């Protein structure tokens, strides 16, 4: 389905003096893989207000539940940087081989990291930086997800083509579920009833029962005018009520809107080029997309399911996240 592209070009603001951020605005962060920076974006003003230098090849990015710490995976430096979200000074650096994606337990600790080149999931205490565990997983681990109750961790391995289930209490792998080629991300519904896994080369999303570890549904995507290999599912996000899922489709430059109860694709929203990762504002009214090749983020109105604005960030934005404590 063809959507009109709602785009407003906005100029990038360069490196700014680091200071306190306004409490009234939603603040988003993007990891810019080519620039080795994080863009700090004021969503109310619709512009980048700060550019923060990082290590080499920043990819995974998240904010702690209290909004005080920003975590960034610097893959080529084999480290995770932890920034203060007020001053943007580095509070701590955690050494870990080739980190790509990570996930926090809902309480904010510990941190689970996929180490792509070493086929490992490493576990760290965010407050101290201490390594708590190292778990062998499949080849080229990527996606990380933690269940809402914090008891189950899921890691996807791109070459093994599996979703691996890890028990939190025993720190042992309890199941491995085959999915389609090159799984990239995993995401639990808020009620914990399902975990969805995107397969980039398979062109599908697998819906998995986290109790039986079996695939119960498989979602595919067809877009008129595009070849199948151009439709590559990447990130997944659920609305707060778990009724709608949004799926980033990579070089298809679209986000699929999926009925998360019937598993039917409702429509496709045209966004920027090579849409990679997604992030909601804390009120779930807006969804942000990181568009790697157009060097911007697109803001989607969730209720209307339409793209309403684009904001320039750094080069090759990979991840996007919104500070959970910012806002009106």
| Rounded distance between C-alpha atoms, residue 42 and residue 303, angstroms | 21
Query: Computed over its alpha carbons, how large is the radius of gyration of the chain?
Result: 18
Which H, E and C letters describe 217-232, residue by residue?
Answer: EEEECCCCCCCHHHCC
For 194-212, write each residue's pLDDT tens digit: 999 999 999 999 999 999 9
Indicate whether 157 belongs to any domain.
Answer: yes
Please check whether residue 305 is in contact with residue 269, taking contact to mean a CB–CB distance below 8 angstroms.
yes
pLDDT at 4: 32
Read off the pLDDT band of 16 (50, 70, 90): very low
Which two structure tokens, joined as six digits, stand for 225? Answer: 């005018």
The Cα-based distances of 3 to 56, 289, 303, 304 in angstroms read 36, 16, 16, 13
pLDDT at 24: 61
Q: What is the rounded average pLDDT of the residues 222-243?
A: 97
Q: What percent of the chain has pLDDT over 70?
A: 93
Question: Model pTM?
Answer: 0.92
Helix (H, G, I), strand (E, B) or coil at 75: helix
pLDDT at 310: 97
Indicate whether 64 belongs to any domain.
Answer: yes
Helix (H, G, I), strand (E, B) or coil at 76: helix
For the domain that residue 31 is a member of, what is the CATH number?
A: 2.130.10.10
Indicate whether 16 belongs to any domain.
Answer: no
Phi-psi region of 194 (alpha: psi -120 to 50; beta: other; left: phi over 0): beta
pLDDT at 127: 94
For 46-76, write each residue's pLDDT tens digit: 999 999 999 999 999 999 999 999 999 999 9
Please check whether residue 182 is in contact with residue 225, taking contact to mean a CB–CB distance below 8 angstroms.
no
Please check whether residue 148 is in contact with residue 190, taking contact to mean a CB–CB distance below 8 angstroms.
yes
Nearest to 145 by CA among 181, 199, 94, 105: 105
For 147-172, write each residue's pLDDT tens digit: 999 999 999 999 999 999 999 999 99
Number of domains in the chain: 1
| Rounded distance between C-alpha atoms, residue 39 and residue 108, angstroms | 23
| pLDDT over threshold 50, residue 9 | no
Which H, E and C letters describe 139-187, residue by residue?
Answer: CCEEEEEECCCCCEEEEEECCCCEEEEEECCCCEEEEEEECCCCEEEEE
Indicate whether 328 belongs to any domain.
Answer: no
Please check whether residue 143 is in contact with residue 183, taking contact to mean a CB–CB distance below 8 angstroms.
yes
pLDDT at 5: 33
| pLDDT over threshold 80, residue 34 | yes
Sheet of 90-95, strands arranged across: 58-63, 69-74, 79-84, 90-95
Length of the chain as a residue count: 328
Indicate whether 276 belongs to any domain.
Answer: yes
Q: Which residue has the higher pLDDT, 328 or 259?
A: 259
Indicate whether 302 belongs to any domain.
Answer: yes
pLDDT at 25: 87
Please check whether residue 70 is in contact with residue 29, taking contact to mean a CB–CB distance below 8 angstroms.
yes
pLDDT at 294: 98
Nearest to 72 by CA among 44, 47, 91: 91
Read off the pLDDT band of 20 (50, 70, 90): very low
Please check whether residue 118 is in contact with residue 107, taking contact to mean a CB–CB distance below 8 angstroms.
no
| pLDDT over threshold 50, residue 1 | no
Q: What is the rounded average pLDDT of the residues 135-139?
A: 95
Indicate whether 327 belongs to any domain.
Answer: no
For 71-128, write each residue's pLDDT tens digit: 999 999 999 999 999 999 999 999 999 999 999 999 999 999 999 999 999 999 999 9
Indicate whether 22 belongs to any domain.
Answer: no
Non-local (6+) Cβ contacts of 139 within 8 A are 119, 157, 158, 159, 160
- What's the mean per-residue pLDDT of the chain? 93
Q: Find the domain containing 124 and state its range.
A: 27-322
Q: Compute the Cα dihedral for 314, 317, 319, 325 and give only its sign.
A: positive
């Amino acid at each position: 389905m063809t959507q009109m592209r709602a785009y407003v070009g906005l100029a990038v603001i360069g490196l700014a003096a680091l200071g306190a951020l306004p409490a009234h605005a939603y603040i988003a962060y993007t990891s810019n893989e080519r620039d080795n920076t994080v863009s700090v974006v004021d969503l109310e003003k619709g512009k980048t207000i700060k550019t923060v230098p990082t290590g080499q090849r920043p990819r995974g990015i998240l904010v702690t539940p209290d909004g005080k710490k920003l975590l960034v995976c610097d893959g080529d430096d084999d480290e995770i940087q932890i920034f203060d979200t007020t001053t943007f000074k580095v509070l701590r650096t955690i050494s870990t081989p080739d980190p790509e994606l990570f996930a926090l337990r809902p309480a904010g600790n510990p941190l689970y990291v996929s180490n792509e080149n070493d086929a490992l999931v490493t576990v760290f205490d965010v407050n101290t930086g201490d390594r708590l565990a190292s778990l062998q997983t499949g080849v080229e681990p990527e996606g990380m997800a933690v269940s809402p109750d914090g008891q189950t961790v899921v890691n996807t391995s791109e070459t093994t083509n599996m979703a691996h289930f890890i028990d939190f209490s025993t720190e042992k792998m309890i199941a491995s579920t085959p999915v389609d080629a090159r799984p990239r991300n995993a995401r639990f519904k808020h009620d914990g009833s399902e975990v969805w896994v995107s397969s980039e080369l398979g062109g599908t999303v697998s819906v998995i029962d986290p109790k039986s570890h079996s695939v119960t549904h498989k979602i595919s995507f067809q877009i008129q005018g595009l070849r199948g290999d151009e439709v590559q599912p990447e990130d997944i996000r659920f609305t707060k009520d778990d009724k709608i899922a949004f799926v980033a489709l990579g070089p298809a430059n679209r986000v699929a809107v999926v009925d998360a109860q019937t598993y039917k694709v409702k429509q496709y929203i045209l966004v920027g080029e090579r849409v990679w990762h997604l992030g909601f504002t804390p009120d779930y009214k807006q969804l942000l997309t990181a568009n790697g090749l157009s060097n911007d983020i697109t803001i989607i109105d969730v209720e209307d399911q339409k793209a309403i604005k684009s904001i320039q960030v750094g080069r090759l934005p990979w991840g996007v996240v919104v500070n959970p404590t910012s806002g009106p």
